[in-house]
Amino acid sequence: MSGILVVAEHRQGVLRPVSLELVSAVQDVRGALGDKVTVAVIGAGARAHQQTLSMAGVDELVFIDTPDAEFDPEVTEAALAALAAEIRPSLVVVPHSVDSMGYAASLAIRNGYGFATDVFGVAADGAAVVATRGGYGQKVNVELEFPGASTVLLALRGGTWKPPVDAASPAARDFAFSAPASRSKNVEFISPPATNDVDMTAKEFILSVGRGVGEEDNIERFRELADTVGAALGCSRPVADSGWLPKSRQIGQSGKTAAQCKLYMAMGISGAIQHLAGMKHVETIIAVNTDPNASIFSVAKYGVIGDMFEIADELEKHFA
Amino acid sequence: MKILVPVKRIAALEEDFEIRDDGRDVDGDFINWDLNEWDDYSLETAMQIKEAAGGEPEVVVVTVGPDDAEEVLRKCLAKGADRAIRVWDDALEGADQLAIARVLAGVAKTEAPDLILAGVQSSDHSHGCTGIALSALLDMPHAAVVAAMTYSAGDAKVRVQRELEGGMLHAVDVSTPAVLTIQLGINTPRYASLRGIKQAAARPIEELSAADLGADFASASRVRRMYVPEKSRAQMIEGSPAEQAARIAEIIREATGA
Ligand SMILES: Cc1cc2nc3c(=O)[nH]c(=O)nc-3n(C[C@H](O)[C@H](O)[C@H](O)COP(=O)(O)OP(=O)(O)OC[C@H]3O[C@@H](n4cnc5c(N)ncnc54)[C@H](O)[C@@H]3O)c2cc1C
Ligand SMILES: Nc1ncnc2c1ncn2[C@@H]1O[C@H](COP(=O)(O)O)[C@@H](O)[C@H]1O
């Protein structure tokens, strides 16, 4: 077994930042698992990302040309299977993303790899890979091993490792494989509809409500609270999916990033990783939740174990 | 025409829970079970395809789980699924999701569905991999995180919209038979009627043992250790709701300069 394969991800000509985070994620295990770190980029025009990926910690860049510039699960899988058959890596890492949810499990099961998703800790025990992920709604950590697997594929959580800062000049080459005739066809990208609702990415103070709000009729009360304390009202996904607040207010992976936010108050939100993706960077997070084990408390600066309705009533009095 | 909907029984921990003596899982006494949230949406998708086609397509739900996992199947029957299958074998205790996918593949090979609709992920362990692992074992085309789709029973392809990061959608045509993983919000799942619940209680559930399917159910990972992570970094605000709110008000004022 030789080395570590990192799979970069790009979309519409832009390299997704998680790609470089993965380079950092494997640096601690490179001694134990094989020294060479290869980064693969798949898709027509893959070479365009050469400079962005020429960073310290990368030994080799491999560009794999495909018929289409954009993601196709079957072509991606075939490309990686062919490359892995050549370099025989002990560890393959991909971003835990919407794209990888479309091919990683298939690649792993067809090739007999060890496999885990949404991994936020990578270590080596001797020459064996040990991965850490969450369980039971992120209330416990689960340490996994991969007995008997000579290659382990891990889908790594974004926003966990800091990308390398120093540029370098890794070797670069092309890799050819025979692309299968894909059974799916890209049609188009559709941007979320423009709205004239507030722009959550620009708000400095956001008060978000989650499923704990209970029912649609209770939204009004938190709209008032948000107005009273001077916050923009945001929400978690179930609230938007139910149509209680517009999608433009949803914070998280498939919604908005609270990019300018300095104070984020999460009420009745459990802290699923996809929600955190849009707000965990905020400097001051206050979480109100009835469940003392809610994982939101692991990113909050201040925590209140309590009922969001009671807290709302009391809080309002201070701003009357 | 047949649609297969794999559904999972998910575990929610009670407020106080203990890790088992072997350190590899939570003690089952501290777990409450429910139907995975995503599976409500995939079942609804199947039901809507069935209804649009005048009720002909058969909707079959399948779960891999022990006796008491039957409950989630009854829920699905109550919402209108035509048949329910439960597969188990004690040897599956501790199996990972790729092993579960192997079992599901055994069922899918017998059932030969035109469409398999799994959930994007399960709300307890968020693996997000079972449906796509299943597609590999069946060598079927597939798409993950489907937030919208256009399909009528018997179509040779399905137009899906994959929901990408940031809410962008990616429209893709996938030829059928196909495996799709269905995302929250794709529709509004129905509630079971009282009559449906009553009837479901009396309906048969087909039971298979994994051995009946005759495959090997190797896992691709094994739990070494499960533990409660180091206590949260949140500074807890104690006191009565009034006291807690007073402190929150202070924090808001400090942070906003209001
Ligand atoms: C690909 C993908 C993308 C996703 N994108 C997003 C996204 O962009 N944004 C997003 O939010 N989610 C997203 N999700 C969904 C995410 O996984 C969770 O399902 C969701 O964030 C849960 O929302 P919640 O915390 O409001 O609900 P729950 O997880 O149900 O939590 C509700 C919380 O409220 C608490 N509570 C209940 N009653 C009260 C009360 N009276 N007072 C105080 N607390 C109370 C409960 O203890 C619980 O912790 C995505 C999922 C996937 C797979
Ligand atoms: N034990 C199981 N029985 C049937 N289906 C399952 C099982 N586990 C997972 N699934 C399916 O896989 C989806 C996602 O699960 P996961 O990959 O575990 O996050 C679920 O929504 C189900 O459709």
Domain-terminating residue out of A156, A174, A192? A174
pLDDT band at A35 (very low <50, low <70, confident <90, very high): confident
pLDDT band at B216 (very low <50, low <70, confident <90, very high): confident
pLDDT band at B92 (very low <50, low <70, confident <90, very high): very high
Nearest Cβ partner of A144 from B15, B163, B224? B224
Euclidean distance between CA atoms B180 and B118, whole angstroms: 6
What is the domain-level CATH number for residue A249?
3.40.50.1220
In a domain, A180, yes or no: no
* Structure ipTM: 0.96
Q: Which two tokens stand for residue A104?
A: 């990683």
**Cβ–Cβ under 8 Å, residues B177 and B73:** no
Range of the domain at A258: 200-319
Over pLDDT 70: what percentage of chain B? 99
Instruction: Judge whether residue B258 has pLDDT over 70.
Output: no
pTM: 0.96
Nearest Cβ partner of A140 from B172, B224, B228? B228
User: Are residue A205 and residue A308 in the same domain, yes or no?
Assistant: yes
User: Are residue A17 and residue A153 in the same domain, yes or no?
Assistant: yes
What is the domain-level CATH number for residue A122?
3.40.50.620
User: Are residue A127 and residue A236 in the same domain, yes or no?
Assistant: no
**Cβ–Cβ under 8 Å, residues A7 and A92:** yes
- Point out the ligand nearest to the CA of residue B64: 2
User: Are residue A135 and residue A254 in the same domain, yes or no?
Assistant: no
Helix A73-87 and helix A104-111, axial crossing angle in degrees, nearest 10: 40
Nearest CA-CA distance, residue B39 and chain A, Å: 15
Residue A255: CB partners within 8 Å, gap ≥ 6?
A200, A237, A240, A247, A249, A278, B167
In a domain, A195, yes or no: no
Cβ–Cβ gap A139/B164 under 8 Å: no
Q: Which two tokens stand for residue A300?
A: 């909050």
**Distance from the CA of A211 to the center of ligand 1, in angstroms?**
6
User: Are residue A44 and residue A138 in the same domain, yes or no?
Assistant: yes
pLDDT in tens, A178-195: 999 989 999 999 998 888
Euclidean distance between CA atoms B84 and B107, whole angstroms: 11
User: Are residue A34 and residue A116 in the same domain, yes or no?
Assistant: yes
**Sign of the dihedral through C-alpha A280, A282, A284, A289:** negative
The verdict on B235 touching A (C-beta cutoff 8 Å) is: yes
User: Are residue A149 and residue A257 in the same domain, yes or no?
Assistant: no
The residue with greater pLDDT, B36 or A34, is B36
In a domain, A106, yes or no: yes
User: Are residue A22 and residue A106 in the same domain, yes or no?
Assistant: yes
Nearest protein Cα to ligand 2, atom 6: B8
User: Are residue A133 and residue A224 in the same domain, yes or no?
Assistant: no
In a domain, A217, yes or no: yes
Q: Which residues share a beta bridge with B178? A: B115
User: Are residue A137 and residue A204 in the same domain, yes or no?
Assistant: no
Average pLDDT value for residue range B3-10: 98
pLDDT in tens, A85-109: 999 999 999 999 999 999 999 999 9
The verdict on B44 touching A (C-beta cutoff 8 Å) is: no
Distances (CA, A) of B128 to A127, A149, B77, B106, B123: 27, 21, 24, 20, 10
In a domain, A186, yes or no: no
pLDDT in tens, A239-283: 999 999 999 999 999 999 999 999 999 999 999 999 999 999 999
pLDDT for residue B211: 83
Name the region of A154 (left: φ>0; alpha: ψ -120 to 50; beta: rest).
beta
Q: Residue A207 belongs to what H/E stretch? A: strand A205-209
Cβ–Cβ gap A284/B255 under 8 Å: yes
In a domain, A80, yes or no: yes
Residues 78-97 of B with CB under 8 A from A: 96-97
* Longest Cα separation, chain A: 69
Q: Which two tokens stand for residue A216?
A: 């649609």
**Distance from the CA of B251 to the center of ligand 1, in angstroms?**
24
Which atom of ligand 2 sits closest to the CA of residue B118?
23
Closest by alpha carbon to B122, among B59, B170, B187, B63?
B63
User: Are residue A134 and residue A72 in the same domain, yes or no?
Assistant: yes
Cis status of the peptide bond prior to B177, with omega within 30 of 0 = yes
**Distance from the CA of A145 to the center of ligand 2, in angstroms?**
21
pLDDT in tens, A205-219: 999 999 999 999 999
Euclidean distance between CA atoms B115 and B137, whole angstroms: 15
Euclidean distance between CA atoms B114 and B177, whole angstroms: 5
Closest by alpha carbon to B220, among B116, B120, B108, B137?
B137
Average pLDDT value for residue range B147-153: 96
* Longest Cα separation, chain B: 68
Cβ–Cβ gap A241/B227 under 8 Å: no
Which atom of ligand 1 sits closest to the CA of residue B163?
1
Instruction: Judge whether residue B232 has pLDDT over 80.
Output: no
Average pLDDT value for residue range B210-225: 89
Spell out which residues line ligand 1, taking CB within 6 angstroms.
Answer: A 98, 210-212, 236-238, 250, 252-255, 268-270, 272, 274-275, 288-291, 294, 307-309; B 120-121, 145
Euclidean distance between CA atoms A313 and A4, whole angstroms: 54
Q: What is the 3-state secondary structure (H, E, C) of chain B?
A: CEEEEECCEEEEECCCCCECCCCCCECHHHEEEEECHHHHHHHHHHHHHHHHCCCCCEEEEEEECCHHHHHHHHHHHHCCCCEEEEEECHHHCCCCHHHHHHHHHHHHHHHCCCEEEEECCCCCCCCCCHHHHHHHHHCCCEEEEEEEEECCCCCCEEEEEEECHHHCEEEEEEECCEEEEECCCCCCCCCCCHHHHHHHHHCCCEEEEHHHHCCCCCCCCEEEEEECCCCCCCEECCCCHHHHHHHHHHHHHHHHCC
Q: Is A142 helix (H, G, I), strand (E, B) or coil?
A: strand
User: Are residue A235 and residue A300 in the same domain, yes or no?
Assistant: yes
In a domain, A58, yes or no: yes
Domain-terminating residue out of A157, A174, A191? A174
Instruction: Judge whether residue B88 has pLDDT over 60.
Output: yes
Distances (CA, A) of A79 to A3, A85, A174, B185: 18, 10, 12, 33
pLDDT band at A1 (very low <50, low <70, confident <90, very high): low
**Strands lying side by side in the sheet with A60-64:** A171-174, A60-64, A37-42, A4-7, A91-95, A152-156, A114-125, A128-135, A140-145, B222-227
Euclidean distance between CA atoms B164 and A190, whole angstroms: 10
Residue A198: CB partners within 8 Å, gap ≥ 6?
A232, A248, A249
Over pLDDT 70: what percentage of chain A? 100
Nearest Cβ partner of A302 from B175, B221, B234? B234
- Point out the ligand nearest to the CA of residue B38: 2
Cβ–Cβ gap B170/A241 under 8 Å: no
Number of domains forming the structure of chain A: 2
**Cβ–Cβ under 8 Å, residues A114 and A151:** yes
Query: In the predicted model, what is the mean pLDDT of chain A?
Result: 96
Q: What is the C-alpha radius of gyration for chain A, rounded to an integer number of angstroms?
A: 22
In a domain, A142, yes or no: yes
Instruction: Judge whether residue A236 has pLDDT over 70.
Output: yes
Q: Report which residue type is found at B144.
A: A
Q: Is A107 helix (H, G, I), strand (E, B) or coil?
A: helix
Average pLDDT value for residue range B150-171: 96
pLDDT in tens, A134-156: 999 999 999 999 999 999 999 99
Average pLDDT value for residue range A24-39: 93
Closest by alpha carbon to B242, among A318, A314, A317, A222?
A314
Closest by alpha carbon to B144, among B127, B158, B157, B161?
B161
Euclidean distance between CA atoms B98 and B182, whole angstroms: 18
Average pLDDT value for residue range B189-201: 95
Domain-terminating residue out of A107, A139, A174? A174
Nearest CA-CA distance, residue B24 and chain A, Å: 8
Domains of chain B, each with CATH number or no CATH: 2-213 (3.40.50.620)
Query: Per this entry, what is the length of chain A?
Result: 320
Euclidean distance between CA atoms A144 and B25, whole angstroms: 12
**Cβ–Cβ under 8 Å, residues A306 and B236:** no
The residue with greater pLDDT, A129 or A197, is A129
pLDDT band at B151 (very low <50, low <70, confident <90, very high): very high
Euclidean distance between CA atoms B134 and A237, whole angstroms: 27
pLDDT in tens, A50-96: 999 999 999 999 999 999 889 999 999 999 999 999 999 999 999 99
The verdict on A215 touching B (C-beta cutoff 8 Å) is: no
The residue with greater pLDDT, B211 or A283, is A283
Euclidean distance between CA atoms A288 and A265, whole angstroms: 8
Nearest Cβ partner of B244 from A130, A187, A306? A306
